[in-house]
């Protein structure tokens, strides 16, 4: 089962504090690897401060106070940009028809000068799994999966993304239990 362009929703029994209460957007899923970004963990760092650190001038009001997100515990010094529309940037992976992941600085330069994607979520770090690791975690009820809805990423406030992702399954967090097993 290919889980690219799916949300992973952490179950209450999630043991890893990096993923407790997390919603991860899966950008890549193969038999060898999985890569995703946590979309509901804003950090204290704003885009204006990040851009200053990388010597880009960002004065566009709608973007400067946007938070940078914790994308996951791997390579936390590296930036990842989920965005709409795709555009043609140096290092871009088309995840879905309307969602792309870019890791090259040119997308940030485009945002800084006002010509970049209309919708974007910037993270530091990513979430990664080796061969069979994610499938094993899903089999042990660590994650719920659901096809992604880009509006959850780009139009839903960060503190509502967990409940909004769950609603795609027709359930609420009140229905989740820390107990697990298979029927």
| Structural domain harbouring 24 | 6-173
For position 182, what pLDDT does the model report? Answer: 44
CATH of residue 100's domain is: 3.40.1740.10
For residue 119, the cross-strand partners are: 84
The closest alpha carbon to 29, from 9, 10, 13, 7, belongs to 7
For position 112, what pLDDT does the model report? Answer: 83
For position 54, what pLDDT does the model report? Answer: 85
Query: How, if at all, do strands 67-70 and 119-130 pair?
Result: parallel
Q: Is residue 180 part of a domain?
A: no
Q: Is residue 118 part of a domain?
A: yes
For residue 29, the cross-strand partners are: 34
- Please state, in angstroms and rounded to a whole number, the distance separating the CA atoms of residues 171 and 173: 7
Strand, helix or coil for residue 161: helix
Contact 23, 165 (CB under 8 A): yes
Q: What is the DSSP annotation of 90-149?
A: TTEEEEETTEEEE-STHHHHHHHTT-S-SEEEEEEEEEEEETTHHHHHHHTTSEEEEE--
Q: Is residue 28 part of a domain?
A: yes
Output the tens digit of pLDDT for each of the chain's 183 residues.
Answer: 789 999 999 998 888 899 999 999 999 999 999 999 999 999 999 988 888 888 877 666 677 788 999 999 999 999 999 999 767 788 898 999 989 999 988 888 888 888 888 899 999 999 999 999 999 999 998 999 999 999 999 999 999 999 999 999 988 777 665 555 444
The dihedrals phi and psi of 34, each to the nearest 5 degrees, come to -140, 140
Output the pTM of the full model: 0.90
- Please state, in angstroms and rounded to a whole number, the distance separating the CA atoms of residues 95 and 150: 11
Q: Is residue 179 part of a domain?
A: no
DSSP label at residue 30: -
Say how many domains are in the chain: 1
């Amino acid at each position: 089962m290919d889980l690219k362009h799916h949300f992973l929703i952490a179950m209450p029994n999630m043991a890893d504090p990096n993923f407790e209460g997390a919603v991860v957007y899966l950008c890549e899923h193969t038999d060898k690897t999985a890569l995703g970004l946590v979309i509901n963990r804003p950090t204290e760092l704003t885009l204006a401060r990040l851009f200053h650190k990388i010597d880009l001038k960002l004065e566009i009001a709608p973007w400067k106070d946007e938070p940078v997100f914790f994308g996951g515990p791997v390579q936390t010094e590296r930036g990842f940009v989920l965005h709409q529309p795709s555009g043609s940037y140096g290092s871009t992976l088309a995840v879905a028809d309307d969602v792309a992941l870019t890791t090259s600085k040119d997308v940030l330069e485009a945002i800084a000068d006002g010509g970049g994607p209309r919708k974007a979520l910037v993270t530091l770090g990513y979430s990664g799994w080796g061969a069979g690791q994610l499938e094993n975690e899903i089999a042990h009820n660590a994650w719920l999966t659901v096809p992604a809805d880009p509006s959850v990423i780009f139009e839903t406030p960060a503190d509502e993304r967990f409940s909004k992702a769950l609603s795609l399954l027709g359930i609420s967090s009140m229905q989740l239990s820390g107990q697990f097993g298979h029927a």
